[in-house]
Chains A and B, each alone.
Chain A
Amino acid sequence: MPHNKIPSTGRYVNSGSGPTIQPIDIGHPHYVGLVDADTAFWSLVRRDSLSDVLRDSALLTSYMRKRESFRKEMHRLRFGLKPSAVYFNITERCNLNCRYCYIPGDMRRNGKHMSEDKVIEALRTLKQYFNKTIDRKLVPKIIFHGAEPLLNKKALFTAIEKFGKDFTFGVQTNTVLLDAETVAFLKSKKVSIGISLDGPTAGIVNKTRASWSGEGVFEHVMKAMELLRSYDAWSVICTVTTENMRSLPGFVNFLHKNEVPTCLLNVVRCTLPSARKIKPDDAVVARHFIDALETSYKLYKESGRKLVVGNFANILISILAPTARRLMCDISPCGGGRSFFALAPSGDIFPCSEFIGLKHFKGGNIFKDSVKDILKSGPFKLVTERKVEDIEPCRRCAIRHFCGSPCPAEAYEMNGGMNKTGSFCGFYEEQARYALRLIADNKHTAFLWDGWDRGTKEIFNVI
């Protein structure tokens, strides 16, 4: 009679049904990494103890007791989440023509606003959907995003007034229309505010971020930063390209001096061809990025005040507490279409804003179709079913669950398919190695928000 029992005790590492533990050089003088990629288990072992640890150590015995629970935890995180956030574009238009924008230029220049009535109708539908699907203790999130949401300010204000108890709101803006009155309103409603800025000087910023007539935005951003100083729910988002990567350490100095609590230094998404012209080389951008992180560490040690680089903090957290991560690009499947989705001004719904402009990724329309059906649509499945196990070389990469091979839009549009990597494999490798070096040197908490682990429980510890 056939049976499925695997004839292996699972006792040995890297054979039979034992764990696949990959050693990785993290560039540390004393420690080497050991990773079971499937469960995102990691440990750092002194180089001269490596063979003893792999033989039959207490570390691996302890891990084997936890292995199944770690595997289940990763499975829940990767396949068990329900959407709890929507990126809501209330206008197609933008008053800027940034070189790397993933929204087509014609749409940004000549597009339409969503009417106030339609914004309200859409939020009512989303409220009903979330009431049925997510835990009552969780408040769903709506992030007004661009194009430039403040171009449709009246609808935005009405929405926040009307649905303040139903959603947590955020606004991402280029700051051109972010005046004192707008800031006062958003602060009074405790709305998170993200502003876009790519460098510490007008000369750098205006190379990539300018109006249709070529006027730069640096002065607008400086005024906005002054208005936001002392507010605790704002951040600066920088898109890293060939044009500004060398200035990243100086930029971190600038942001810290201006008391910015959090920034994101996101390498440019290469979904559309225009962005690929300013795509940096992986190794070069990694060097400047890590220099910037080192600068943030030095500033913290000197001043006692942190400037958290949020996208890197997220990678650290993906190692230390996988389920506590806040950003969902760096995991596979990514958050697109499964923990959030994007709503365009026409009512069309896409797995992520990155796909707005790519009509074949439209899952349906909020005014015509049910959200439930849209989430199960073919275009959504293309994204939600993309996983590192199906991608070469990710399926044998030790850091595949610290990276996630982002982004599916890039993989599809730039590299030829969902089973391809995203644009910046090498950059993620360097970030994961740096994160593990910081843990080895016990410096990592300096790079994380205070209280980052509030609400977490320790389930493994060998230090």
Chain B
Amino acid sequence: MENSKKSNKGETKINKSDIIASRKTCSADGTGLSHYVLMDKKTK
């Protein structure tokens, strides 16, 4: 099956279903150790 072709910009265009990639971001406030109480944000 042909999965890819060249776009107008010369990039190799891949079928979207062939790729999964995502990233989310937020202000980092990580505080916990793996062997301690998990501090649930909804507690306060």
Contacts and interface: CB of A to CB of B under 8 A. Distances in A.
Contact of A463 (B14, B20, B27, B28): B20
A84 B43 contact: no
A126 to B, nearest CB: 14
B20 A43 contact: yes
Contacts of A171: 37
Contacts of B34: 264, 266, 311, 314, 327, 329-330, 406
B13 to A, nearest CB: 6
Interface stretch (A48-56, A116-124, A222-230): A48-56
Given A70-B23, A457-B26, A49 B3 contact: yes
A89 to B, nearest CB: 11
Contact of A339 (B4, B15, B30, B42): B30
A41 interface: yes
Interface string A335-354: 11001100000000000110
B38 A326 contact: yes
B19 A264 contact: no
Contacts of B10: 56
A264 B12 contact: no
Contact of A320 (B15, B16, B23): B23
The interface residues of chain A, by DSSP majority, are classed as mixed
Nearest to A189: B43
A31 interface: yes
Interface stretch (A137-145, A151-159, A283-291, A413-421): A137-145
A349 to B, nearest CB: 15
A65 to B, nearest CB: 12
A324 B32 CA distance: 12
A352 B35 CA distance: 11
Interface string A311-341: 1001000001111111111110001100110
Nearest to B35: A266
A55 B12 contact: yes
Given A49-B4, A170-B36, A190 B43 contact: yes
Contact of A456 (B14, B18, B19, B26): B26
A168 B41 CA distance: 10
Nearest to B6: A56
Given A141-B39, A170-B36, A323 B27 contact: yes
B37 A170 contact: yes
Contacts of B23: 41, 66, 70, 320-322, 458-461
Given A44-B20, A49-B3, A327 B26 contact: no
A203 B10 CA distance: 65
Given A145-B36, A172-B36, A192-B40, A323 B25 contact: yes
A52 B19 contact: no
A323 B21 CA distance: 17
B37 A462 contact: no
Contact of B22 (A310, A325, A353, A458): A458
Interface of B: 1, 3-4, 7, 9-40, 42-44
Which 6 pairs from chain A and chain B are nearest by CB? A43-B21, A194-B37, A170-B37, A321-B24, A85-B31, A323-B28
Given A232-B42, A323-B30, 14 more contacts: A45-B14, A45-B18, A49-B4, A52-B14, A53-B12, A58-B7, A143-B39, A237-B35, A323-B26, A327-B30, A327-B34, A328-B32, A340-B31, A352-B33
